[in-house]
Amino acid sequence: MGTRRHRERLDDTKTTATPRKRESSAHPTLLDCINDRQLFKPWFKDQNTWISWFAFIAALFSLPMTAKQLAIYRKCTGRNEPPSEPAKEGWLICGRRAGKSFVLALCAVFLACFHDYRQYLTPGERGTVFVIATDRKQARTILRYIRALLTRVKLLSQMVEREWQEGFDLNNSVTIEVATASFKSTRGFTLVAVLLDEVAFFATEDSSSPDEEILRALRPGLLTIPNSMILAASSPYAKKGVLFNAYREHYGKEHDPSLVWKAPTLVMNPNVPEEEIAKEYENDPVSAAAEYGAEFRSDVETFIAREAVEAVTSEERERPYLAGFKYHAFTDLAGGGSGKDSATLAIGHVENGISVLDVIREVKPSFSPRDVVDQFSALLKSYSITEVKGDRYAGEWPREQFLERGIKYDPAVNPKSIIYGEFLPLMMSRKCDLLDHPKLLNQLCGLERRTARSGKDSIDHAPNGHDDIANAVAGVLTSMGIRKYRYVADLSWVGGPSESSPAAQRLSGFLTSRGL
């Protein structure tokens, strides 16, 4: 992505490219509303800086385009022909500070206020516009834009029947509200539109593919509203998830009902200082290419394939203490309070040359760290364990607390990134036996390998993700003395089905460098 500022001016006198179908002329279009002083024009003081967004809106709703807008459309979609009908789904892959959140809010208000859905609703039923982000706090950013658009436009403020902390009820039987990024809480609604902000960074504890689960839960709610729409926007991240899948499957496809729009920050918002973006490219080209250039990251990939985890997972949920085995433990403590990290403990033993996982415990926040140490200590003693390993969280505090309860706390020598690196070949060689624990499966599948500019790899959870359980499990299973490397027999699980995958090649090199 170049950093040349996009400052071409809009020329409405040029020939327009008219699609074969367009919205009925009986209703104002969103571009009409933007040009109306009584509606949205006050938000667009310098329309020349919004030219790329006007092109996107024209494409999304299948409106006539100027020659300049058509050129921008071709550049950002990889298509030649203008859309023949409004999109059912719009996917915005844009750099940060491009204006995505405001445009999502603008589309939400337009869809909610300028269409009459009551003919498709049963008595007492309301159509809903969902605003979904990685968390409710981020979703409220869009809600603030929506509030301004509704309350500062006199004609629209008259439509508001009720306002509450997370939404609005309008007098046309439409509700606009913030929803949690969960496939469970979004079911059962009749949906007018769904707005997904920063969808590349969605993460929950409920699924290893939360974005896919959320979309799967939402789509049935859109079926009974003819002009319903999903509009997802995000700066890109790794080459995985629904955003990358949409790009791979729909970008550049003529007349595809799913419109994929991919553009750097400066193309969509020329007001962002070009020199600041240039500095970001100088400091970290790979990160800047994703954050401002709208390029998917090439330095992030899935660490463990789901099939690999399932191959070493038993049907047991927990295994009881058996005399005759020596049990080991690893804990990943947390601060409790209002934090997001859980305190976790994993217990295991070695049986017939296999590292066997016996117990997983998780205490979610908020909690008292001392109470957690009490619980964990009692469990450790029930398995005849007098020593537990753990991370170096909180300095000497865990050591002192466990010692008071008769348990020796031994801080782990290696950080979790190295522990995960040791756990992978243990799993690939099927020298471990995991429990049937959905969160463990999801957290292991959610781990990512990132390559720094120095070429050094690190392994950690994805943004907005968690790995508390995975860390404890990998910690205990790699601490029991099983030779992890010599048994590696099948690299095909690493990163996917191909033995020539980059992850498999790196693992092979890792083993070779150690003479294994």
Domains held by the chain: number: 2
User: Rounded mean pLDDT of 215-242?
Assistant: 91
User: Rounded mean pLDDT of 201-219?
Assistant: 74
pLDDT at position 489 is 37
46 occurs within a structural domain:
no
288 and 368 both lie in a single domain? no
Strand partners, 345: 331, 361
- What is the percent of the chain with per-residue pLDDT over 90, rounded to a whole number? 59
Q: Which residue has the higher pLDDT, 298 or 121?
A: 121
pLDDT at position 165 is 87
394 and 422 both lie in a single domain? yes
421 and 491 both lie in a single domain? yes
The pLDDT tens digits for 345-378 are 999 999 999 999 999 999 988 888 899 999 999 9
The pLDDT tens digits for 167-195 are 999 999 999 998 766 655 566 689 999 99
258 and 335 both lie in a single domain? no
361 and 284 both lie in a single domain? no
98 and 148 both lie in a single domain? yes
CB 48 within 8 A of CB 9: yes
167 and 255 both lie in a single domain? yes
445 occurs within a structural domain:
yes
97 and 197 both lie in a single domain? yes
358 and 465 both lie in a single domain? yes
**Residue 336's pLDDT band (cuts 50, 70, 90):** low
208 and 115 both lie in a single domain? yes
**Residue 73's pLDDT band (cuts 50, 70, 90):** very high
User: Rounded mean pLDDT of 484-511?
Assistant: 44
| Structure-token match 């995958």, residue found | 501
pLDDT at position 299 is 79
Task: Answer yes or no: is pLDDT of 58 > 90.
Answer: yes
Peptide bond into 366 cis (omega under 30): yes
The rounded distance, in Å, linking the Cα atoms of 435 and 206 is: 17
Domain limits at 339?
306-513
DSSP assignment of 24-83 equals: -TTS--HHHHHT-TTTTGGG-SSGGGGHHHHHHHHHHTT--B-HHHHHHHHHHHS-SSPP
What pTM does this model have? 0.70
Mean pLDDT highest for which of 168-182, 258-272, 495-509?
A: 258-272
Q: Which residue has the higher pLDDT, 299 or 34?
A: 34
Q: Which amino acid is at 378?
A: A
